[in-house]
Structure 1
């Protein structure tokens, strides 16, 4: 396969240096918070409670037998009568208690008038939204693939009286995970969108991105899929597994690292000089790396003659204003596949 040749040292350096950027404010290699506590007695999956957050928003508390803890999930109910399709929207590496799509990415406002139910998980810090082979001291017990594909859908789609049509999308780490889950579960999702992500795991570039993504939040990457020689690394590689995406509507986007007007405003409004420099330098380099990753994956899809909508912005710095601006573009590809 032509696109899986050696990656230049310069490209590797950019990716390796920039994937860790979001952790600059923390101590490198140390988790910023204790890992979620594990409850050995939690052996059944089920809906524990529903809190009404707003007219169209609810927060669910779901017991996960896979992860032995309670996972909080936000739901944005769509307009019109059920049944409606479901969009699962994944966060980036920070994996905060409330998805950045809600707190920073404008998802609630964008989907307020759309006939689609949107499901957003909390947590997932540095997890790649994958099933880890071992418990991690810093990041805890992660069985996100099982939760997202087996435990969560029957609960939330029953509650919402879903139409059974699904899409999955994400940004940065969540972009890689969305593509990975769509590739590993052919036919489960009718559409997938990756914004500013990287999509390989088994080649030098993919190993570097994955390793540093996990390490940036204090995790040990060998607890993820084992050593790099493990077949699990190849099994999670969307370039290697791209054929499984045939028949799925695909959207990809990335920018250049050049700041937009919104980026400059965000930099100017940073609370400290350190934060401003982090946004200006780190965001630019990280988005440039995501652009390279996206071009490689788009090229692989072309080799396989698998259609994809690919959008390259001339400006954008891997910031939430940029991701928010990409959401309408992604929706143009996702929506036709859902109705």
Structure 2
């Protein structure tokens, strides 16, 4: 047999397939990588797995594929769309990315040049350096959204303090802060629906919760640029709002913050320029449809943006309308958000 005496124990059926694919020696086999093997007739993934195992027993391996997929640092698995993604980060945020989001994986490359600019995570003007990791497209979008999320949370807290400065006593507390973590770290089974913020009365009673969504678009009557034509919210987010309200025994309101980027070349800072709120009792009357998100299998509810009101009107609502809505919820339950 052509493979006898090679020191590699290859099953007869696997050896037969190799010969049918015109691979007649171990030397020839070792010049090929897994992708090239799969292009040969009669050889599938199961056969390749057996070949790899037999070679490993003999202390050998297939050739390295120069076009192999890179491993996504956040998912810790190969991804065909994984590529080098670049972020301007301060030293502390870079360390946090490596330890908390990427499983102690250091950057593939960090620039030696230090510049004054805005960190892409903490959004503070600091000394930053360009840092690169291999990430798939999905994880890159998530990582880039974290800095905007942190800026949104700070914007909500600052806006709350401003509009409620003459209404002392109602304190706002962040209960579900933006976190760096590997993908899949918190499973759907373990996840508990929690409002992003809660507002507490001086007595300690939780009066309401806030589910915060942020983006680049404005709502009519404020903000910067053209207003959005629809507001999209995953049905799972709607379900979480309802579950959080039931846990708190208090209504949960939907807030939208418009956060835009402003260049501080070569970096960018995030700035909140508008905020609106939607009462849960106003959501279903403004529902337009429920349908799958584009290019995804998840369903989303699409609402008319008219359900939102400027956040500046929230103190008036708290004074004139909140108590009646709270009593309605405790009498009839939290309202349905979509159908």
Q: Over alpha carbons, which structure has the higher Rg?
A: 2
Per the normalisation by structure 2, the TM-score is: 0.29
Higher relative contact order (CA 8 A, sep 6+): 1
- Would you tell me which structure has more helix in proportion to its own residues? 1
Greater strand proportion = 2
